[in-house]
């Protein structure tokens, strides 16, 4: 089994992609033309959370984009009304709808806290996928930690006394 | 080095990053600092257990002492330098047992794949070069060729890492890079002809 992309999270500085491997998660942070990799093993997971995050930077940038595209469409519409309406329908109206829906719904985000690091995965407009990934990560960590606990218990159990 | 700029201090509220009470249970949790809710699955991972046999248990003929811890019995020898190691010293990495000194040296040289933590981001470079080539079209042949090269290197990286998905972006960058070359070439040819 190789690596499978579970999700990603964009920031102003770059993008973080989280992959599932047999031993845990690999967190690839892309920044300054380099990828910095961190690993979070299943037997180090302390907590997995699911919440709806706000996304102020995206909303600000999207509204700036809506404003610029709206002005451009208005300029085109002054010359040719049909072209202006078409440009609006294709550009700033869908972006505005997407931004408003994202603002109302929030961004379902899964956070995985380990002993040494944390992985964050955002799923805009994909609530079900976020829940599936939350369940997948929780299940994998629980299975690995239960197996480790059983193996430790087996090692510490003393051998049975010889029959008399 | 922004990736090193914040220090991780353990589980916190995913909303406000505030500290949570040490007593946590799985289910719905309300942060005591920001009063917002989130769902959590809480784990108590078992502590890593290293069993170290003492020399006094085994006797002088029963075991060989570890080179760094003479009181501990060696469990294996280093796969690179052959020094005897106890369970505390032994590091299993990339299919071999190494002593701490050899592990440090090999990871500093980048010879251990599992210890490497930094790679060149060929995928990101391919996307950026292809996009800039679209905007500055007369540089398209140069930037497009760069995008194609980076997409090829990124594909090799993904195969090496065992990635099962995520190849779509590379193909898109390669196609746009090819377009940059053709369109930029056509533009330059038209400019030369006048």
Is residue B65 a part of any domain in this protein? yes
**Mutation site, A51, A133, A140, A151, interface B, largest B CB count within 10 A:** A51
Is residue A144 a part of any domain in this protein? no
**Mutation site, A1, A11, A35, interface B, largest B CB count within 10 A:** A35
- What is the extent of the structural domain holding B40? 9-45
- Shared domain for A69 and A37, answered yes or no, is no
- Shared domain for A42 and A61, answered yes or no, is no
Is residue B93 a part of any domain in this protein? yes
Is residue B89 a part of any domain in this protein? yes
* Whole-number pLDDT of residue A52: 93
Is residue A152 a part of any domain in this protein? no
Count of the separate structural domains present in chain B: 3
- Shared domain for B97 and B149, answered yes or no, is no
With an 8 Å Cβ cutoff, are B121 and A29 in contact? Answer: no
CATH number at residue A30: 2.30.29.30
Is residue B61 a part of any domain in this protein? yes
If one counts every other C-beta atom within 10 angstroms of the C-beta of residue B72, the result is 22
pLDDT tens-place string over residues A64-98: 999 999 999 999 999 999 999 999 999 999 999 99
Residue ranges of chain B with per-residue pLDDT less than 50: 1-2, 4-5
Is residue B4 a part of any domain in this protein? no
Query: Could you tell me the CA-to-CA distances from A117 to A43, A98, B20, B89 in Å, in that order?
Result: 13, 32, 16, 24
The residue from B68, B95, B115 where one domain ends is: B115
- By CB neighbour count within 10 A (0-12 exposed, 13-18 middle, 19+ buried), where does A53 fall? middle
Is residue A25 a part of any domain in this protein? yes
- Shared domain for B41 and B72, answered yes or no, is no
Is residue A159 a part of any domain in this protein? no
Cβ atoms of residues B72 and B55 within 8 Å: yes
With an 8 Å Cβ cutoff, are B45 and A34 in contact? Answer: no
- Tell which wins on pLDDT, B156 or A56: B156
Is residue B166 a part of any domain in this protein? yes
- What is the extent of the structural domain holding A118? 4-53+109-139
Pick from B170, B118, B120: which is nearest to B147 by CA?
Answer: B170
For A77-140, give the secondary structure using H, E and C.
HHHCHHHHHHHHHHCHHHHHHHHHHHHHHCEEEEEEECCCCEEEEECCCCHHHHHHHHHHHHHH
With an 8 Å Cβ cutoff, are B166 and A141 in contact? Answer: no
For residue B128, give the chain A residue with the closest CA: A33
Is residue A84 a part of any domain in this protein? yes
B74 three-state secondary structure:
coil
Token match 């993904």: residue?
B158
* Whole-number pLDDT of residue A163: 65
* Whole-number pLDDT of residue B128: 94
- Shared domain for A46 and A115, answered yes or no, is yes
pLDDT tens-place string over residues A101-151: 989 989 999 999 999 899 999 999 899 999 999 999 999 999 999 998 888
Is residue B1 a part of any domain in this protein? no
Among the partner residues A50, A118, A145, nearest to B45 by beta-carbon distance: A145
With an 8 Å Cβ cutoff, are A47 and B42 in contact? Answer: yes
- Shared domain for A48 and A63, answered yes or no, is no
Is residue B50 a part of any domain in this protein? no
- Shared domain for B136 and B180, answered yes or no, is yes
With an 8 Å Cβ cutoff, are B2 and A13 in contact? Answer: yes
* Whole-number pLDDT of residue B1: 47
Alpha-carbon gap: A78 to the closest alpha carbon of chain B (Å): 27
Q: Is the pLDDT of residue A156 over 50?
A: yes
Alpha-carbon gap: B189 to the closest alpha carbon of chain A (Å): 32
Cβ atoms of residues A8 and A17 within 8 Å: yes
**Mutation site, B14, B27, B42, B147, interface A, largest A CB count within 10 A:** B14
- Shared domain for B96 and B146, answered yes or no, is no
- Shared domain for A83 and A98, answered yes or no, is yes
- Shared domain for B111 and B140, answered yes or no, is no
With an 8 Å Cβ cutoff, are B118 and A37 in contact? Answer: yes
Contact of B30 with chain A, judged by CB distance below 8 Å, is answered with no
The residue from B64, B97, B115 where one domain ends is: B115
Pick from A32, A40, A8: which is nearest to A133 by CA?
Answer: A8
For residue B42, give the chain A residue with the closest CA: A47
Count of the separate structural domains present in chain A: 2
């Amino acid at each position: 089994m190789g690596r499978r992309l579970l999700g990603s999270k964009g920031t102003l500085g770059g993008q973080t992609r989280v992959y599932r491997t047999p031993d845990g998660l690999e967190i690839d942070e892309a920044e300054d033309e380099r990828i910095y990799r961190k690993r979070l093993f299943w037997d180090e997971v302390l907590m997995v959370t699911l919440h709806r995050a706000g996304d102020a930077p995206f909303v600000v940038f999207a509204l700036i984009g809506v404003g610029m595209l709206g002005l451009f469409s208005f300029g085109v519409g002054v010359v040719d009304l049909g072209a202006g309406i078409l440009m609006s329908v294709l550009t700033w109206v869908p972006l505005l709808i997407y931004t408003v829906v994202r603002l109302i719904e929030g961004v379902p985000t899964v956070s995985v806290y380990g002993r040494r690091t944390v992985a964050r995965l955002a799923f805009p407009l994909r609530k079900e996928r976020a829940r599936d990934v939350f369940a997948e990560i929780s299940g994998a960590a629980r299975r690995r930690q239960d197996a480790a606990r059983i193996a430790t218990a087996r090692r510490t159990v003393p051998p049975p006394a010889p029959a008399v | 080095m922004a990736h090193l700029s914040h220090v991780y201090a353990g589980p916190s509220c995913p909303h406000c990053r505030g500290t949570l009470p040490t007593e946590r249970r799985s289910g719905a949790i309300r942060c005591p600092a920001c009063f917002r809710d989130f769902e959590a699955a809480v784990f108590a991972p078992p502590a890593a257990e290293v069993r170290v046999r003492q020399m006094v248990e085994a006797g002088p003929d029963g075991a060989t002492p570890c080179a760094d811890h003479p009181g501990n019995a060696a469990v294996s020898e280093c796969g690179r330098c052959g020094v005897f190691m106890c369970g505390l010293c032994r590091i299993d990495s990339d299919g071999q047992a190494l002593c701490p000194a050899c592990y440090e040296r090999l990871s500093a040289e980048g010879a251990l794949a599992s210890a490497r933590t930094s790679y060149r981001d060929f995928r990101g470079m391919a996307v950026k070069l292809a996009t800039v080539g679209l905007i500055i079209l007369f540089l398209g042949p140069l930037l497009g060729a760069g995008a194609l090269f980076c997409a090829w290197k990124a594909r090799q990286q993904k195969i090496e890492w065992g990635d099962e998905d995520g190849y779509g972006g590379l193909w898109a960058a390669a196609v746009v890079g090819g377009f940059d070359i053709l369109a930029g070439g056509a533009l330059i040819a038209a400019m030369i002809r006048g």
